[in-house]
Structure 1
Amino acid sequence: MELNHEIIDTPPRDAASVVMLRDGTQGLEVLLLRRHADSAVLGGAYVFPGGKVDSADSGGATLARLDRPVAELHARLGEPALSPEQAAAFYVAAAREAAEESGVLFLQVGAREIATHSAATCARLRAGESFAALLAEHGALLDTDALAPWSRWITPRRPSVMNKRFDTRFFLAAVPLLQEAKHDDHEVTEARWLTPRAALAQYRAHEIDLAPPQIVSLLHLMQYRDVAHAMQHARSRPPPLIVPEPVEDGDTRVLCYPGDPLHPVQARALPEPVPTRVVWRAKRFEPPQGFGPWLD
């Protein structure tokens, strides 16, 4: 992953991402998907399932398939500047992208979650069929209760690792029981369930590539003992806004986050001991003191 120094003046694109969790034998695990090496966005990197918000995500047919009123989802997201329909579209985009990229369906029929993986439904979604039409065909609603708003990241005008800007809402979600993630083998070429510690260890060993939002999010996830703990915390506070501030320290590139002395926002967005900055060192972003305090 090469460092990018280009200044980008275009507004960021709205996007949504799902940080999918499960409880494993070694503790909380997170799903990481490897983007195709030829992808224009973070090619070859391991990311959380997600993608851009489409116009259909806020369409009437789609919003009619939600399990909660759009006003309630608007309040949960905690962004008064958005309309209720715009807020709801982030939930839709998160669930749609999760289904397309990982094959996990956050749906419910009646009062019950859909418990089994539907490869046919996900394949049809990947082929371009309407999400709303597929939901209606199954008599299903989108299970927005499964998606807990967690954080909001806006790519700065001088991005760190790519030449596109996104305004991404991250949601936490427990993978429904009996469902198994299966990557699409098109946009995504590999799926790994890893503890946050194991993922960061593989990154430190140059076995996988991660972008700064994933690095910092994995450090954040290390604070949770299990899925229930993570979900409870996400639902207990508004999602923090994180706009990285690029700073040059001699020949070293630094990305600062809210609460850092060099960031314009002095209030911390993420809890201790998550670092308030990462530095570019040996072709890797890492905390200033390295990963030792978290991994050794």
Structure 2
Amino acid sequence: MDVDRPGPGEELNDAGTVTPPRQAATIILLRGGGQALEVLLVQRNPAQRFMGGAWVFPGGAVDRGEGEGDEAHRAAAVRELDEEAAVSGVAPASLVRFSRWITPPQVKVRFDTHFFLAPSPEGAEPAVDGHECVDLGWFTPEGALERHRAGELLLVFPTIKHLEQLSSFESADALLAFATGREVVPVEPRVVLGGEAARILLPGEPGYEDA
């Protein structure tokens, strides 16, 4: 994927030293059951220095008090969903592991983010606090990508790639069935600079091993 400038939160590191990634967790909240697939996206406050204005899945960094390992990631994911979208009642143990993305070493702010799937609790009515997040919406994965291409939604690279993957599933139930018990392999994109553009490569793509 070629980009003419880094997106918010994807600014390149000019310091020459690699920033250790901070542990983080994200929930891809689903609705639609066996009939459809929609995901919840929240818009970060445009005034925020990190990813201001971007539409993302609810999530954030693991707090020190949440411990380490899988339990900490699950606890952080559930907490962030409540804080950013006012959705409670999701049991950490019920989350389905979906992916793990590590920010490229060339980027200034780095996270080691664990993505989880969860059906929206019955009766949940997501809402934003108006400070950290200022808007939200339910989108089909392809619908969100179309609005991004039209310039209506600001999306960052990991969100785009996840939406592309999710768009191949016809329903929330089909997605959950696919992900349950599946081995999660960490993905660490790499950035290749060429002139005024940067190319982001994923594992398996030509040039990745040489980047």
Alignment of 1:98-247 (within 5 A): 98-107=81-90, 143-159=91-107, 163-247=108-192
Contact 2:34-2:171 within 8 A present in 1 as well: no
Letter in 1 for 2:153: I
1:248 positional shift: 3.0
Match of 2:26 among 4, 8, 17: 17
- What is the CA-CA distance between 1:86 and the residue it aligns to? 2.2
Higher Cα radius of gyration = 1
Task: Identify the residue that residue 80 of structure 2 maps to in structure 1.
Answer: 97
Offset of 1:228 from its aligned partner?
0.9
Amino acid at match of 1:11: P
Amino acid at match of 1:239: V
Q: Tell me the secondary structure at the aligned position of residue 247 of structure 1.
A: strand
Q: 1:6-27 deviations in whole A, cap 9, x for unaligned?
A: 2452201111010111118983
Higher RCO (CA 8 Å, separation ≥ 6 residues):
2
CA gap of 1:172–1:25, structure 2 versus 1, over 3 A, is closer
1:258 shift after superposition? 1.2
CA RMSD after TM alignment: 2.1
Report Cα offsets for 1:221-279 as digits up to 9, x if no partner: 001111111111111311221101111355432111111122229xxxxxxxxxxxxxx
Name the residue aligned to 1:49. Answer: 58
Report what 1:33 is aligned to: 42
What runs of 5+ residues in structure 2 fail to find an aligned partner? none
* Aligned equivalents of 1:144, 1:223: Cα separation in 2: 26
Cα distance in 2 for residues equivalent to 1:156 and 1:37: 23
Paired letter, 2:73: F
Per-residue CA distance 1:188-243 (angstroms, 9 max, x = gap): 00001110111001100111100000000000000111111111111131122110
Q: Secondary structure at the match of 1:37?
A: coil
For residues 232 and 27 of structure 1, the distance between their equivalents in structure 2, rounded to whole angstroms, comes to 14
Q: Deviations over 1:64-95 (max 9, x none)?
A: xxxxxxxxxxxxxxxxxxxxx52210000000
Counterparts of 2:64 and 2:177 in 1: how far apart (Å)?
Answer: 31
The sequence identity of aligned pairs, in percent, is 38
Paired position in structure 2 for 1:68 = none
Q: Secondary structure at the match of 1:87?
A: helix
Taking the aligned partners of 1:18 and 1:210, their CA distance within structure 2 comes to 16
Structure 1 moving runs of 4+ over 4 Å: none
Q: TM-score, normalised by structure 1?
A: 0.64
Which has a greater percent of helix?
A: 1
The question of 1:86 aligning with 2:69 is answered yes
Paired letter, 2:162: S
**CA pair 240-227 structure 1, distance change in 2 beyond 3 A:** same
Structure 1: gaps spanning 5 or more residues: 59-84, 108-142, 266-296
**Could you tell me how far apart the structure 2 residues matched to 1:223 and 1:214 are?**
15
Q: Deviations over 1:87-140 (max 9, x none)?
A: 210000000000000111134xxxxxxxxxxxxxxxxxxxxxxxxxxxxxxxxx
Q: 2:33–2:172: 8 Å Cα contact kept in structure 1?
A: no
Deviates more, 1:196-205 or 1:233-242: 233-242
